[in-house]
Structure 1
Amino acid sequence: MSTLADEPLTHGDQTALEPAALESLTSNLDGWTINRSTDIPRIEKTFKFADFASALAFTNRVGELAEQENHHPALLTEWGKVTVSWWTHTLRGVHRNDVIMAARTERLA
């Protein structure tokens, strides 16, 4: 498990990660990819589940984590899968906090 999940979120530095740093940090997260299909890059992963109820329960766990940290992802819940996307809206890119939250999301699966 990534030790990124144990890092506290930072609130002072409000700079999006440079592409090389984003690639490096994301490479430490199993199955997470950088989505550049829009003008705002984000990190994403699709988690698989046996049924809709399990996918919905995972969505709710991620939602609880997001509320605790006041840092919220995009969540797409479908039958048997949930796609989680992290980025920082105000920065129009990915902050280190997004990578930390992705690592914490892994712990909830």
Structure 2
Amino acid sequence: MEYLTKHKCVPCEKGGPVATADEIDAYKPQVPEWDIVDIKGSRTLRRVFRFKNFKQALAFVNQVGELAEAEYHHPTLILDWGRVEVLWTTHKIKGLHKNDFSMAAKTDVLFQS
């Protein structure tokens, strides 16, 4: 995971290449708690984080938001009482990119701290 946490997001061009099967096979073990799901035809990384209360969940959402702004790569965040669902995908390429795996790894680090 250290490799992914050191990666800086790079801008993707519309129609650019999505992560290959080999790339996904290399990156996925580094973010084992994340599921790869299909949402509206796009492969997406998804993880649900649990918290003791709404305040902790909201604080986590704000941390992920700050990370997203710093990397200029933004997730879908679903906030509920004691629960945050985070979805990473690259909309411009309609699928997964190394950026998504990197941001998932960085999100895990935020959760662990």
Q: Give the structure-1-normalised TM-score.
A: 0.90
How far off its partner does 1:11 sit? 3.5
AA partner of residue 90 (structure 1): K
Which residue of 70, 75, 80 maps to 1:73? 75
For 1:22, the equivalent position in structure 2 comes to 24
Q: Distance in 2 between matches of 1:64 and 1:76?
A: 16
- Moved runs in structure 1, 4+ residues, more than 4 A? none
Match of 1:49 in 2: 51
Give the match's secondary structure for 2:41. Answer: coil
Percent identity at matched positions? 35
List alignment gaps of at least 5 residues for structure 2: none
Distance 1:6 1:107 in 2: 12
CA distance in 2, matches of 1:61, 1:16: 27
> Structure 1 10/37 Cα, relative in aligned 2: closer, same or farther at 3 Å?
closer
CA contact (8 A) 2:12 2:92 kept: no
Aligned residues between the structures = 108
Q: What is the identity, as a one-letter code, of the residue corresponding to 1:8?
A: K
Report the CA distance between 1:59 and its aligned residue: 0.3
1:84 to 83, 86, 99: 86
| CA pair 12-32 structure 1, distance change in 2 beyond 3 A | closer
**CA shift at 1:67, angstroms?**
0.7
Distance 1:82 1:7, change over 3 A: same
| Cα deviation, residue 37, structure 1 | 4.6
RMSD of aligned alpha carbons: 1.6
Match of 2:100 in 1: 98
Aligned partner of 1:6 in structure 2 is: 6
Tell me the secondary structure at the aligned position of residue 15 of structure 1: coil
